[in-house]
Amino acid sequence: MSVFHNVVVVGGGGAGLRAAIAIAEANPRLTVAIVSKVYPMRSHTVSAEGGAAGVAGADDSLEEHLYDTISGGDWLVDQDAAEAFVREAPSELLRLEHWGCPWSRQPDGRIAVRAFGGMKKKRTWFAADKTGFHMLHTLFQTTLSHPDVVRYDEWFVTSLLVDDGQVYGVVAIELATGRVETIIANAVIVCTGGCGRVFPFTTNANIKTGDGMALAYRAGAPLKDMEFVQYHPTGLPFTGILITEAARAEGGWLLNKDGYRYLQDYDLGTPTPHPAMRSMELGPRDRLSQAFVHEHDKGRTIDTPYGPIVHLDLRHLGAEVIDAKLPFVRELCSKYEHIDPVKELIPVRPVVHYMMGGIHTDIHGATPLTGLYAAGEVACVSINGANRLGSNSLPECLVFGARAGQAAAEFVGSTRSAPGAAVYAQARDAQRLLEREFTRHTEGHERIADIRTEMQTVMENGAGIYRDGESLATAADRLRELRERFDHATVDDRSRTFNTEVIALLELSFMLDVAQSIVACALHRGESRGAHQRTDFPARDDLRFLEHSLVHRTPDGGGRVGYLPVKITQWPPGERVYGR
Amino acid sequence: MADTITLQVARYRPGQEPEPVFQSYDVPLRKEWAVLDGLNHVKDHVDGTLSYRWSCRMGICGSCGMTVNGSPVLSCATFLTDYAPGPVRVEPLRNFPVVRDLVVDITDFMAKLPSVKPWLIRDDEPEPEGEYLQTPGELDDYKKFSMCINCMLCYSACPVYALDPAFLGPAAIALAQRYNLDSRDEGAEDRRDVLSSAEGVWACTFVGECSTACPKGVDPAGAIQRYKLTAATHAVKDFLLPRGAR
C-alpha cells in the first residue's frame, strides 16, 4: 500500500515549515506533506534563544555581514552561498514579521537588533530570548492557513526510496500504531536538523539524532564537512541546557576561578566595561570554547561533579535588563541550577551545540541525488564553513528552506518520471526489514542505552574540541566494534503501539553512521581550522585544505573521504582577527 | 536524603489490556534529577517498554506533560526531590484518551487549532516593504498569550473540558486572543463566531485551573474572561445599533 504527495518534507522545524510554505506559495496545486517524528511545535528550533541575523540598520551593510560570516567560518565558507544568504536573510525575517512573529521592538515600533558573537554590527533580530520558540510557532501557525499542506505528525522516516540516482519517496512508521507506510513523492526535502546526540553533553534535544543525515548518506548522497562540530561555550553543567550568547551580547562576562576575564589571554582583545563587537566575550564560539580548554589545562577552572566549569557573570546588568532581554535565562537558571543570575554567578562549560557539516547541497538546496533536497542544520550549503556564527542558523533555516521549497516545486513541475517496479520492490523490502525490528530476537542482551552511551563517550574522547590522529583512529576502531555490538542489541518492547524503543534502536543506527562520518572526515583533515583543532596539525593549511570534505558511505558503514574546492568570490583567505 | 525514590508509573495499552496498572520502579534520588530523568533511567536500564514523550528537557517544547502526584506538570521541569521521600505517582495527562502508558492522544486539540485561525490576518495586498510598526507597549498587549507551548496541561486541568470535549479549551482561546490583541492583526471578526459559540468562551465557568496549571504564565483564564467582555459588548451593539454603526 502506498500514498502519494508531490513533495514530502521530512521534518517540521524552521526549515521544513518554511519549505512547505514556499511550495504552497509557488504552486498551490502541488500537494505537500510534512512528515515528522514529533508534532511540528516540538521541533528543536523551539530551543533557539538568542536571535536571527539579517542586516537591518543604516550603519550596516551586506558586505559586512558577509565578511563576518566568512571570517567567522575560517574561510571554509562558500562565498556565493553566503552572498545569497546575507542578501535574502533580511527579507525572510521581514516576512516572518508579516506573519506575526513577535520580534522585540525599538520605542518607535521598528524592529530592534542586538549584538552577537563574531558580528561587527548589531544585526541580530530577537524575540526576547525565545527567538526560536516564537519563529517556530509563527511558522507552524502560518502553515495552518495553508490547508493543502498535510501533516504526518509522529511518523518516523526510516529510509528514502532511490532508483538510478533519483529519489521517489520515503518509507515511514506511524508511531501510534506501528503501521509502516510507503509515501511516494516527486521530490523529498530533508529538514531534520542536527545530530548533537552522538555526543554525551549537548544542548540538543533528545530528537537530534542525525536521522536526515543518515537517510541521505545511506541513499548515496555525500555528507560534507562533518568534522566541524560546534561547541557552544556556555552550557549549564549536568543538563547541557544552553545559556544564550545574547547573555554576553547584553554585557555578560566569562570569569575563571579567580574571577578573571580570561579571554584576554587568548588573543581576543582587552576587557572593556561594555561589550565591544568582535572582541572578548563577543568573539566566535570556536575560539571561546578552545580558550576554556586552555584555562582548564592551567588549573584555572572550577571542578564540579559534572565536570569543570567557569562562571558567566550577569550581575552587573541588573534585574531590569535581565528581565527585559534575558527572561528565559533567569527562568532556566532558577529552575535547573537554583540560582538567580541577578545576584549569583552562572556555572557554565562548553557543550556540543551545532553541526556545521551535513548533507552536501548546492545553493538551491539540491543534493547530488535527483529529487532530493535538504535545508537547515541537516544540510551543508556551506555558509557556516568551519565555525558558524551565533544567530546565522535561524535565518539559514528560512533562506535555504524557502530556496529548497522553490527549487523542489520547480523540479516537480518539470519532471515526468514515475517510480518503477524497483522502487516498489525496495519499499516492500524496507517494510519487511522494519517488521523484523518489532520482533527482533537476538542471542545477546546488549541494551540500546549502553551502546549509545559508549558511542557518546568515544566521540567526546576521540573527536572533542581538540583531536589528534591517534584519538581519532581509536575512535574509528571503537565505532566499528559498537556497530558489531549493535547487531546484538535487544528490544524489550514487542508492541506495535507507540513503541519508542524500536524508534530509539533506529535512531542509534542512524547515529552510528553519523558518528563514523564525523570521525572519518576528522581523521583525513590534517590541519586545524575553526572548530576542527588537531593538536598534531596545529596550523591552518590553505594549500592542502581550502577544501570541503565530502564523504560517501561504504557498505561496511565507514566513509570514503574526498574533497571539493571552497568557492571564493571576493575574500581570499586571511587572518581571523578578533579584539584588535 | 535517601539514595532512591519509588516511581509508581501508570502502564496501559487500551484495547489490549483491561485497565491501567501501576508499576513501581526504584530510581536514584539526585538533587538535579527531574521526574523525566527518573523515567529515562527506567527506560534505559530497567524496562525498555515504558512509553512516554520527551524532547528538549528545558521546558519549551511541550512534549513531556504528565500527571505527577495528581497535578499536571512538565516532567522535565519537576524535580524528584520535591516529592521525597516518595513514592511519586506518574500518570498520563487527564482528560485525553491514552495511547499507551504516559502517551496521550492530542488530535482533538490539533484539529481545533485551525478553527481559531491562529495566524496574522490582514487585508492589505501586497505586503508592505518594511515592517508593521509595533511599539513595545503594543507588543506587551498580547505577549503573554504568545508564550503558550501547547503542552496541554491546561486542558488536563480544565473541569469543563473533562465534561464537554467539544469545548474549544484554554490554549486555543488564548491563542486566538494572542492574534486578536496583536496591533498588526485585523482578523478578530473572522474569529468571532468560533470564540462566541456555545463551545467557545461561554462554555468556560471560570474555575481558573488552567492558569494555575500553565507552566509559562500564559493565563488562559484571563484571555477567556477578556474575550467574554468583548463578545458581550459586541452582542449588545448588535442588538442596539443599526448594522452600519456597529
pLDDT tens profile A419-457: 999 999 999 999 999 988 888 766 668 999 999 999 999
The grid coordinates of residue A61 equal: 551593510
Closest partner CB to A46 (pick from B47, B61, B138): B61
Instruction: Identify which of A24, A579, A52 has the alpha carbon closest to the alpha carbon of residue A270.
Output: A579
pLDDT band at B207 (very low <50, low <70, confident <90, very high): confident
Grid coordinates of A580: 584588535
Yes or no, beta carbons of B132 and A97 under 8 Å apart? yes
pLDDT confidence of residue A409: 97
Q: Cα(A430)–Cα(A113) distance, rounded to whole angstroms?
A: 48
In chain A, residues with a C-beta closer than 8 Å to the C-beta of B101 are: 498
Residues of A in contact with B100 (CB under 8 A): 495, 497-498
Low-confidence ranges of chain A (pLDDT < 70): 1, 441-444
**One of A5, A151, A232, A478 is an active-site residue; which one?**
A232
Mutate to test the interface with A, among B56, B133, B140 (most CBs of A within 10 A): B56
Cα distance between residue A244 and residue A98, in whole Å: 26
Strand-strand pairing, A379-380 and B71-74: unpaired
Characterise B62 by phi-psi region: left (phi > 0), alpha (psi -120 to 50), beta (else): left
> How far, CA to CA in Å, does A483 sit from each of A78, A164, A509?
34, 28, 8
User: B103: exposed, middle or buried (C-beta count within 10 Å: 0-12, 13-18, 19+)?
Assistant: buried
Helices A500-524 + A448-463 axis angle, to 10: 20
CA distance A406 to A96: 17
Nearest one of A45, A504, A158 to B53, comparing CA atoms: A504
% of chain B with per-residue pLDDT over 90:
86
The pTM for the full model equals 0.97
Residue of B nearest to A324 (CA): B136
A372-385 b/e (C-beta count within 10 Å ≥ 16 → b): bbbbbbbbbbbbbb
Q: Show the CA angle centred on residue A137, arms to residues A207 and A112, nearest 5°.
A: 115
Q: Quick check: B49 and B16 in contact, CB under 8 A?
A: no
Say if the Cβ atoms of B142 and A134 lie within 8 Å: no
Contacts of B216 in chain A (CB under 8 A): none
Neighboring chain B residues of A105 at a CB cutoff of 8 Å? 134-136, 139
Per-residue pLDDT reduced to its tens digit, B180-196:
999 999 999 999 999 99
Tell me the three cell numbers of residue A432: 519487511
Across the interface, of B32, B58, B148, the residue whose CB is closest to A332 is B58
Check if A327 contacts B (Cβ < 8 Å).
no
**Identity of the residue in A42, A449, A495 whose CB atom sits nearest the CB atom of B61:** A42
Identify the CA nearest to A454 among candidates A511, A493, A501, A503: A511
**In angstroms, what separates the C-alpha of B165 from chain A's closest C-alpha?**
21
What SS3 state is found at A36?
Answer: strand
Nearest chain B Cα distance for residue A369, angstroms: 31
Show the DSSP H helices in A298-443 as ranges: 318-325, 327-337, 393-414, 421-438
Nearest to A492 by CA among A559, A447, A539: A447
A501 interface with B at CB cutoff 8 Å = yes
What pLDDT was estimated at residue A435?
Answer: 87
Q: Given an 8 Å threshold on Cβ–Cβ distance, is B32 in contact with A336?
A: yes
Report the residue from B52, B130, B134 with minimal CB separation from A105.
B134
Cα gap A62→A89, rounded to integer Å: 10
Amino acid at B185: D
Contact between residue A180 and residue A193 where contact means Cβ atoms under 8 Å apart: no
Residues in A closer than 8 angstroms to B78, CB to CB, are none
Beta strands in B92-227 (DSSP E): 98-100, 103-104
At residue A262, φ and ψ (nearest 5 deg) are -70, -15
Q: Contact A451/A489 with Cβ under 8 angstroms?
A: yes
So what's the pLDDT on residue B239? 75
CA distance A500 to chain B (A): 6
- Residue A235: closest CA among A206, A201, A209, A258: A201
Rg for chain A, CA atoms, rounded: 23
CA distance A507 to chain B (A): 14
Cβ atoms A211, A157 nearer than 8 A: yes
Distance from CA of B228 to the nearest CA of A (A): 24
Beta strands across the sheet bearing A358-360: A379-380, A358-360, A223-224, A547-553, A559-565
Cell output for A516:
563514523
**A491 touches B: beta carbon within 8 Å:** yes
Check CB contact under 8 Å for B113 and A104: no
The H-or-E segment that residue B183 falls in is: none
> Residue B1 pLDDT > 70, yes or no?
no
Assess whether A494 carries a catalytic annotation. Answer: no
Three-state secondary-structure class, residue A465:
coil
Instruction: Kindly determine whether residue A239 and residue B100, on different chains, have CB atoms separated by under 8 Å.
Output: no
Q: Is the pLDDT of residue B246 over 60?
A: no
| Whole-number Å distance between alpha carbons of B220 and B208 | 8
Which residues from A are below 8 Å from B13, CB to CB?
495, 497
Structure-block grid coordinates of residue A135: 519563529
E-strand ranges in A453-558 read 466-467, 533-534, 547-553
Quickly state the pLDDT bin for B232 (edges 50, 70, 90). Answer: confident
| Helix H or strand E segment including B233 | helix B220-240
The A residues from 117 to 176 touching B (CB cutoff 8 Å) are: 130, 133-134, 137, 141-142, 144-145, 147, 153, 176
**Cis amide prior to A2 (ω within 30 degrees):** no
Q: What is the pLDDT of residue A443?
A: 66
CB neighbour burial string for A258-267, b if at least 16 within 10 angstroms, e if fewer: eebbbbeebe
Average pLDDT, chain B: 94
User: Strand A346-355 and strand A229-235: pairing?
Assistant: antiparallel
By CB neighbour count within 10 A (0-12 exposed, 13-18 middle, 19+ buried), where does B222 fall? Answer: middle
Q: Using alpha carbons only, what angle is made at residue B198 by residues B193 and B203, rounded to the nearest 5 degrees?
A: 120
CA separation, residue B239 to residues A111, B200, B202, B235, B246 (Å):
42, 20, 18, 6, 10
A248 in active site: yes
CA distance A101 to chain B (A): 9
**How many CB contacts within 8 angstroms connect chain A with chain B?**
156
Which cell numbers hold the place of A149?
499542506
pLDDT (0 to 100) of residue A442: 65
Rounded-to-integer distance, Cα A222 and Cα A225, Å: 10
Q: Please give the C-alpha separations between residue B15 and each of A177, B18, B21, B99, in angstroms, as whole numbers.
A: 12, 7, 14, 10
What distance lies between CA B233 and its chain's CA centroid? 28
pLDDT at B126: 81
Instruction: Find the catalytic residue in A137, A248, A483, A553.
Output: A248
Rg (CA), chain B: 21
| Helix, strand, coil % over all residues of chain A, rounded to 5 | 40, 20, 40
Q: Cβ separation of B49 and A104 shorter than 8 Å? A: no
Q: Which residue of A has its CA nearest to B57?
A: A205
| pLDDT score recorded for residue A447 | 94
Across A91-239, the runs of DSSP E, i.e. the strands, are 113-114, 124-125, 149-153, 155-163, 166-174, 180-190, 223-224, 229-235
What DSSP character marks residue A446? B
Walk across the sheet containing A124-125 and list its strands: A52-53, A124-125, A113-114
Q: Is residue B174 within 8 Å of B115, Cβ to Cβ? A: no
β-pairing, A346-355 vs A310-313, is antiparallel
| Cβ contact A517:A470 at 8 Å | no
* Closest chain B residue to the Cα of A490, Cα to Cα: B48
- Nearest-CA distance from A446 to chain B in Å? 11
Reference B162, options B222, B203, B113, B116; nearest CA is B203
